A and B are shown apart, each in its own frame.
Chain A
Amino acid sequence: MNRTTHEIEPEEVMAHLDGELQASRASEVAAHIAACKECATIEADLRAVSGQLIQWQVEPASLSIATSIEQSLAKPETTARVKARERKGLIGAWHRLAASQWAWKLGFASVAVLLVGAVYMQRSFNERARELQRATGLSAFARFSQGATATEVSPDVPAMQKLEAQKQLSESLEKDAAPESASPAADRIAAPTPGPMIARTASMNLVIAKLDVARASLEKLLARHHAFASDMTLDQSNDASASLNATLQVPSAELDATLSDLRALGRVSTESQGGEDVSDQHVDLAARLHNARESEERLLDILRTRTGKVSDVLAVEEQISQTRGEIEQMEAQLANLDKRVSYASIKLEMAEEYKAPTGANSSVALRLRNAVVSGYRDAVDSLLALAVFLLSAGPMLLLWAGLLFFPARAIWKRRGSLRAAFSKNAA
């Protein structure tokens, strides 16, 4: 039979014989078979094959199967699950839910999502709290340096006495300076200083990858924290390792946040922090200033009211001049102390990692060596980044893979059966 020219394919003859054709097509094929000798032969062959196959009969099953199935049916747990469908109301719904594997999978997935969400929320909350703390400068040390109340800090007696003495002195100074308030320094002295005065200092050595990038970040950082660099030295004369030394002046309240941001610029090789209590020094200086001013007042009073020899007048004037010099010197010292307390000082040293020079005069071998070193460092960095990523995201990925494996497998299996059904319909 020629398949390309014959209008009925042999498979259709077989399908007709098996009763698998639709009625209209079956009548067409039947008519064709009646007229076509080849197709009639095929039909006869197929009938003969089926007739021969029927000869293969197997013995009936033993009764033991029936017994075991009946025993299984008699077990209450066998029928409990299927009976769950029949139950009405809330209890029935609960039983149907408990009998469903999908419900269990969905339940486990929901619990896992809730756990992940809780962990994420906790981390987010902590992060926000840290940011808030950084923004408001409410770390314990900063609170102490800003002047916390005695109940907030450790309530030791000497500190409280010191606070009280300082307060009394400030009040008396305020009264004295109120009529005149001659200089800005006097205004600052008159300002109340309720807590101990701590001049904070810090130093940090950083190893960075690229100095240009780090410097740009440093400038942004300083602007963000209302800080400034009182001096800065940039050394790029040597290709081996560019470095930057700077002294940063940071508002005391911003010190912790600034240090935290500085750490993010590179790898910290050394770091230290210190604080000097200048309360006594301040009180002493203020008292001396107070006395000097009184002396000056008395001398001026003598000069105005008393008369005497010219040599005496000159001696008083010289004394006044000397006292004025001392007063101005002490005012400057007080101003400096205030500045040290309100602005913390950070000595910062940033240096690039050592790299052999690659100038125009360097040899080919040296440049190749640098390339090897650079390549090795990049490879290690990328491996490190990958390891960090896997360690940070790995558990979460494993969790989700575990959660999604069974639903995905079920969907895949269902898809396979649907594909078969679609192909069946298409055919």
Chain B
Amino acid sequence: MQRDEELMMAFQKGSTESFSELFLRYRDPLFGFFRRRLSNRTRAEELTQECFLAVLQGAERWEPRATFRTYLYAIALKLTAAEYRRSQREPQKASEADEVGQPNAAEADLGVRRAIAALDAEHREVVLLREFEGLSYEEIAVALRIPLNTVRSRLFRARMSLKELLDPQPQKLQREKEILSTPAPAIQQLRQEP
């Protein structure tokens, strides 16, 4: 099986099949990346598409200095940040969109989602990239542009926090449900309220 970087270099030489192979490899993981961060499924699909288009457009400038996976998720992170900013500028539109795409999660997912949503943004991002996207510590450091030691410390603290949060605590359930039913950009604001 060819490495991602080899496929990308083949695409730079004009092989569209190589890009199709990359697309097949990363379509679902990338959609999962956006889907875990956005409650609107349609928007997650659009951003997945935008991310691949960005890779297409910037393919001639790509150099194998970092892994393709790091490059791809770095673009995805930028798109996510832009989406959060957009939703802050247009809260009404974002709220409507979120209601349309509100996931009907299973109870098992709900516990995990509310625990992750309870983390602060820095720790949440590191743990998501590690646990669900499967990035190595080095890849996370490059994608988030933070030192490797910071990745390790944040990941450890996030996991320890999750351990506490994943313990069943009925008294917190109602509050966390409120958090989960709120659009992603407003989570931080709600968490800060008493």
Contact = CB atoms under 8 A, between A and B. Distances in A.
A55 to B, nearest CB: 5
A189 B163 CA distance: 118
Contacts of B113: 56
Name which of B57, B127, B162 has the most chain A CB atoms within 10 A of its CB: B162
Contact of A84 (B60, B66, B145): B60
Q: Is the interface of B mostly helix, strand, loop or mixed?
A: helix
A101 B61 contact: yes
Contacts of A123: none
A38 B27 CA distance: 41
Contact of B138 (A50, A64, A419, A424): A424
Nearest to B165: A49
Nearest to B147: A423
A366 to B, nearest CB: 64
- Taking residues whose C-beta sits less than 8 angstroms from the other chain, chain A's interface range is 35 or more
B16 interface: yes
Contact of A66 (B12, B27, B41): B27
A50 B131 contact: yes
B108 interface: yes
A14 to B, nearest CB: 5
B148 to A, nearest CB: 4
Contacts, number: 132
A66 B138 CA distance: 30
Interface stretch (B85-93, B151-159, B182-190): B151-159
A220 to B, nearest CB: 61
A64 B124 CA distance: 29
Interface string A38-81: 00000001101110111111111110111011101100001101
A420 B141 contact: yes
A239 interface: no
A65 B137 CA distance: 30
16 contacts: A14-B152, A15-B137, A45-B159, A59-B41, A61-B28, A64-B45, A65-B52, A69-B56, A73-B20, A78-B56, A82-B13, A83-B14, A84-B60, A85-B13, A420-B145, A421-B142
Interface of B: 11-14, 16, 19-20, 23, 27-28, 30-32, 35-36, 41, 45, 48-49, 52-53, 56-57, 59-61, 66, 108-109, 111-113, 116, 127, 130-132, 136-138, 141-142, 145-149, 152-153, 155-156, 159-160, 162-163, 166
Given A61-B48, A423-B148, 19 more contacts: A14-B155, A45-B163, A52-B112, A53-B116, A55-B112, A56-B116, A56-B132, A58-B36, A60-B28, A60-B31, A65-B31, A65-B49, A66-B23, A69-B23, A69-B49, A82-B60, A85-B13, A420-B142, A424-B147
